[in-house]
């Protein structure tokens, strides 16, 4: 096998095998078939890149087909947004098609199936149909209407089409096998009555085909050779083929369905229903909110089409589900923006800096490189004056040895400008620094070639001249959720994991070269990250969105929280061994504060469960976390683990563990009642006064 063949993903290998077995290359045809009931998200991008990528590789047409069979949820707004997203991603479709284009043909085929005894009208309630269908382990049974005559079925179906019946009164079902091990084959629905306005066909139709019926037949009409779906449709393949078998003409291409693993990305949700909930409940500001995983949201935030295509290429096409780290998407974005985004200076948390030995009326225009990664990007002029803004965090009046920014008595370089030295500060009545006074070395200008300019200093700071700075609104976006899998926890609403800091709006100042920026332009704010000009920008108002930081802050935060919990557990040992009560309380307070600072829900749960073992210190740690963390509740822990946890804690030799276990049980009434016997036994044998007092207070 050649190197090229080894690099093929399994879908490409299937196509290569088809061609090797005589399938004509000019008959290859693919499609991307979104349902227009929401905006496309990053998960759809994988399918888009796969289907259109195959089209490019094999020089085959790719249709854009809207599977618009449910007028209750579909809108023209979604159709327009999907087309815009596809074009922005850089893909062009061969034909724009709609399942609604085929409504008459689908109806005619359904009539044919009724005549052939392959479909019938069922008039049961949905509840009765569900009961009659059986379960995965119990076969279904024939319904009371399964053997209606062809004539009665045809009459009823025409009446459904004409609007003679209410919604839910009748459905058309395929007549297959009510005992099939595949529940989808147990007489699935083909049509239902819906008196809804369709965004394309208006009120022409009163019945609409089900997705499973319309999808494969639409593929057949368009002569799609390889119908590529995600893994949740594996069980649908048998039904897909059965529907095709009812209408297939062997002079035409018969589509075949193949499944690949969809994209699962951590720290977000991919369900259209949940994304719609975020929009409808105004938790986000529309489908294109820069915190949303939608293509339009990513575009508005400042993502590039190239970075998304690169991301989809890196993750590849697989048969097995896995979860991709959001950091990989951000890595692809940084790589792309690093090459293309001009460097500029902006200050987002400004503090005034005065160069006391710089002439008050002097003004210089210094040369600054636009992008060191792109030689053709050239240079620009930035104004320099006596009074500047720098970032507040870039100065400490009393700094530790490893603080490589500005402090009193230390030197730093101002980017593209001079070396300065901290001399003094001015503070307000509350003791807050309002002004920093420095001196500069006149001979140290960057690029001057002087000996002073080549002097090494601890750090380099960005800045803007106050006199020339442009005020701007900066929207600092972060991940929408604080948990890796916000919609995967039983009995937890995914909204409980919203990141309260996902959007912060600040007033910043930028250099004057940005006066005429346009929506969609991207820049690197030096030392701060990549930023995109938002569509809300207007004359006299510049709005920037933070796209991504220069480093992976979440990976850093995750490691910090893991390390903090590990170190906090070590502090438990110190707390237990400490004889002095005051010192012990200080250690305990520190432990509690550390626990409260941890945001990662999954990490907290894992830590609690991991420490449910026959070790006093470990049990103390788990009890403290459960008692003091506001990110976790007792109901979040599996019942078996929780029972073991309480049982071991109440039997612990350490009084502090027993006390915390009793207090945790107080907040868990269901288990409190279950442990009445053990609590009574504990009271009988307890020697510790604090534990006894607590039990007495509870009237055990």
Within 10 angstroms of residue 142's Cβ, the number of other Cβ atoms is 12
Q: For residue 554, which of 630, 492, 482, 652 has the smallest C-alpha distance? A: 482
5-14, 107-116, 614-623: range with lowest mean pLDDT: 5-14
Percentage of the residues of the chain whose pLDDT score is greater than 70: 99
Q: Is 209 annotated as a binding residue?
A: no
Segment 506-528 mean pLDDT: 97
Q: Is 302 annotated as a binding residue?
A: no
Q: For residue 316, which of 13, 3, 2 has the smallest C-alpha distance? A: 13
Summarised one tens digit per residue, pLDDT across range 317-374 is: 999 988 999 999 999 999 999 999 999 999 999 999 999 999 999 999 999 999 988 8
Summarised one tens digit per residue, pLDDT across range 34-64 is: 999 999 999 999 999 999 999 999 999 999 9
Does the pLDDT of residue 490 top 90, yes or no? no
CA neighbours within 13 Å on the CB side: how many for 518? Answer: 0
Which value, to the nearest 10 degrees, does the dihedral of the CA atoms of residues 467, 473, 475, 476 take?
A: 20
pLDDT at 179: 97
pLDDT at 555: 76
Report how far residue 124's alpha carbon sits from residue 143's, in angstroms, rounded to the nearest whole number.
8
Does the pLDDT of residue 94 top 80, yes or no? yes
Q: Is 437 annotated as a binding residue?
A: no
Q: Is 270 annotated as a binding residue?
A: yes
Whole-angstrom CA distances from 488 to 233, 500, 630 are 20, 20, 19
> What is the average pLDDT score of the chain?
94
Does the pLDDT of residue 6 top 80, yes or no? no
Segment 240-256 mean pLDDT: 96
The full DSSP string for 630-675 is: SS--GGGS-HHHHHHHHHHHHT-S-HHHHHHHHHHHHT-HHHHHHT
3-class DSSP assignment, residue 151: helix
pLDDT at 3: 41
Within 10 angstroms of residue 278's Cβ, the number of other Cβ atoms is 21
Report how far residue 97's alpha carbon sits from residue 84's, in angstroms, rounded to the nearest whole number.
16
Q: Is 200 annotated as a binding residue?
A: no
Segment 418-443 mean pLDDT: 96
Percentage of the residues of the chain whose pLDDT score is greater than 90: 83
Report how far residue 522's alpha carbon sits from residue 520's, in angstroms, rounded to the nearest whole number.
6
Q: Is 211 annotated as a binding residue?
A: yes
Tokens of 647: 């049982």
Q: At what angle do helices 616-628 and 655-666 cross, to 10 degrees?
A: 30
Report how far residue 348's alpha carbon sits from residue 22's, in angstroms, rounded to the nearest whole number.
63
Q: Is 263 annotated as a binding residue?
A: yes
pLDDT at 638: 87
Summarised one tens digit per residue, pLDDT across range 613-637 is: 989 999 999 999 999 998 888 888 8
35 Cβ contact partners less than 8 Å away, ≥ 6 residues apart: 66, 67, 68, 69, 70, 73, 74, 211
pLDDT at 150: 98
Does the pLDDT of residue 562 top 70, yes or no? yes
Tokens of 381: 């002029």
Enumerate domains of the chain plus CATH numbers.
10-101+213-263 (3.40.50.620), 119-210 (3.90.800.10), 272-340+474-551 (1.10.1160.10), 346-462 (2.40.240.10), 555-697 (1.25.10)
Summarised one tens digit per residue, pLDDT across range 361-397 is: 999 999 999 998 888 999 999 999 999 999 999 999 9
Per-residue confidence band for 100, with pLDDT thresholds at 50, 70 and 90: very high
Neighbour-count burial of 206, counting CB atoms closer than 10 A to its CB (0-12 exposed, 13-18 middle, 19+ buried): middle
How many distinct helices (H) and strands (E) make up the chain? 22, 29
Q: Is 230 annotated as a binding residue?
A: yes
pLDDT at 458: 85
Give Rg (Cα) of the chain. Answer: 33
Report how far residue 222's alpha carbon sits from residue 105's, in angstroms, rounded to the nearest whole number.
12
Q: Is 649 annotated as a binding residue?
A: no
Q: Is 562 annotated as a binding residue?
A: no
Segment 414-430 mean pLDDT: 96
Helix boundaries (H) for 578-615: 581-597, 601-610
pTM metric for this prediction: 0.86
Per-residue confidence band for 286, with pLDDT thresholds at 50, 70 and 90: very high
Segment 82-101 mean pLDDT: 98
Does the pLDDT of residue 522 top 50, yes or no? yes
* Sheet-wide strand order for 207-209: 119-122, 171-174, 189-193, 207-209
Active-site residue list: 35, 262, 272
Whole-angstrom CA distances from 644 to 601, 609, 611, 638 are 21, 10, 11, 10
Does the pLDDT of residue 1 top 50, yes or no? no
Q: Is 45 annotated as a binding residue?
A: yes
Does the pLDDT of residue 452 top 80, yes or no? yes
Does the pLDDT of residue 554 top 80, yes or no? no
Within 10 angstroms of residue 82's Cβ, the number of other Cβ atoms is 23
pLDDT at 341: 97
| Residue 184 near residue 235 (C-beta atoms within 8 A) | yes
pLDDT at 120: 98
Q: Is 41 annotated as a binding residue?
A: yes
3-class DSSP assignment, residue 113: helix
Per-residue confidence band for 465, with pLDDT thresholds at 50, 70 and 90: very high
Summarised one tens digit per residue, pLDDT across range 571-602 is: 999 999 999 989 999 999 999 999 999 888 88
3-class DSSP assignment, residue 332: helix
Q: Is 43 annotated as a binding residue?
A: yes
Q: Is 67 annotated as a binding residue?
A: yes
């Amino acid at each position: 096998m050649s190197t090229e063949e080894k690099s093929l993903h399994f879908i490409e290998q299937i196509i290569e095998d088809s061609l090797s077995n005589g399938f004509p290359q000019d008959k290859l045809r693919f499609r991307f078939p979104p349902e227009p009931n929401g905006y496309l998200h990053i998960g759809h991008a994988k399918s888009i890149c796969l289907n259109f990528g195959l089209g490019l590789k094999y020089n085959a047409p790719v249709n854009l087909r809207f599977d618009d069979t449910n007028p209750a949820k579909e809108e023209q707004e979604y159709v327009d947004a999907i087309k815009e997203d596809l074009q922005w991603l850089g893909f062009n479709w061969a034909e724009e098609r709609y399942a609604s284009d085929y409504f008459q043909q689908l109806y005619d085929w359904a009539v044919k199936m009724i005549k052939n005894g392959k479909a019938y009208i069922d008039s049961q309630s949905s509840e009765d149909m569900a009961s009659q269908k059986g379960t995965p382990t119990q076969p279904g049974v024939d319904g009371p209407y399964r053997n209606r005559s062809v004539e009665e079925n045809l009459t009823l179906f025409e009446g459904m089409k004409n609007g003679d019946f209410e919604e839910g009164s009748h459905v058309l079902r395929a007549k297959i096998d009510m005992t099939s091990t595949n529940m989808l084959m147990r007489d699935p629905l083909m049509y239902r009555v819906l008196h809804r306005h369709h965004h394309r066909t208006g009120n022409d139709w009163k019945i609409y085909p089900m997705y499973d019926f319309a999808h494969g037949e639409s593929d057949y009409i368009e002569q799609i050779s390889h119908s590529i779906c995600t893994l949740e449709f594996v069980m649908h393949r048998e039904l897909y083929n059965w529907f095709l078998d009812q209408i297939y003409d062997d002079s035409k291409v018969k589509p075949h369905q193949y499944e690949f693993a969809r994209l699962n990305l951590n720290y977000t949700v991919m369900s259209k229903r949940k994304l719609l909930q975020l929009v409808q409940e105004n938790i986000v500001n529309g489908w294109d909110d820069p915190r949303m995983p939608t293509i339009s949201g990513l575009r508005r935030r400042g993502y590039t089409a190239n970075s998304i295509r690169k991301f989809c290429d890196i993750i590849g096409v697989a048969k097995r589900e896995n979860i991709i780290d959001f950091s990989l998407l951000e890595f692809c974005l940084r790589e792309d923006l690093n090459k293309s985004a001009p460097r500029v200076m902006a200050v987002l948390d400004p503090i005034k800096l005065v160069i006391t030995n710089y002439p008050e009326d002097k003004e210089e225009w210094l040369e600054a490189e636009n992008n060191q990664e792109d030689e053709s990007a050239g240079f620009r002029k930035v104004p320099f004056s006596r009074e500047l803004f720098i970032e507040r965090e870039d100065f400490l009046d009393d700094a530790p040895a490893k603080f490589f920014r500005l402090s009193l008595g230390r030197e730093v370089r101002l980017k593209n400008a001079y070396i300065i030295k901290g001399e003094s500060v001015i503070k307000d009545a509350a003791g807050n620094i309002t002004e920093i006074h420095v001196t500069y070395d006149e001979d140290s200008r960057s690029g001057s070639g002087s000996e002073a300019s080549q002097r090494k200093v601890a750090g380099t700071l960005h800045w803007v001249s106050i006199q020339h700075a442009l005020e701007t609104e900066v929207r600092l976006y972060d991940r929408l959720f604080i948990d890796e899998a916000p919609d995967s926890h039983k009995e937890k609403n995914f909204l409980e994991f919203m990141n309260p800091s996902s959007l912060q709006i600040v007033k910043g100042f930028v250099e004057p070269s940005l006066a005429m920026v346009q929506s969609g332009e991207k820049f690197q704010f030096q030392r701060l990250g990549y930023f995109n000009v938002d569509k809300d920008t207007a004359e006299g108002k510049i709005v920037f969105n933070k796209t991504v930081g220069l480093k992976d802050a979440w990976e850093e935060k995750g490691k910090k929280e893991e390390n903090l919990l590990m170190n906090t557990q070590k502090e438990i040992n110190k707390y237990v061994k400490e004889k002095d009560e005051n010192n012990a309380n200080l250690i305990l307070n520190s432990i509690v504060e550390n626990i409260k600072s941890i945001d990662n829900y999954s990490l907290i749960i894992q830590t609690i469960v991991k420490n449910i073992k026959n070790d006093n210190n470990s049990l103390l740690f788990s009890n403290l976390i459960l008692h003091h963390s506001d990110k976790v509740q007792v109901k979040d822990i599996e019942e078996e683990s929780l029972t073991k946890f309480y049982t071991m804690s109440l039997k612990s030799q350490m009084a502090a563990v027993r006390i915390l276990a009793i207090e945790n049980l107080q907040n868990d009434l269901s288990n409190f009642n279950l442990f009445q016997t053990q609590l009574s036994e504990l009271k009988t044998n307890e020697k510790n006064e604090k534990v006894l007092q607590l039990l007495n207070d509870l009237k055990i």
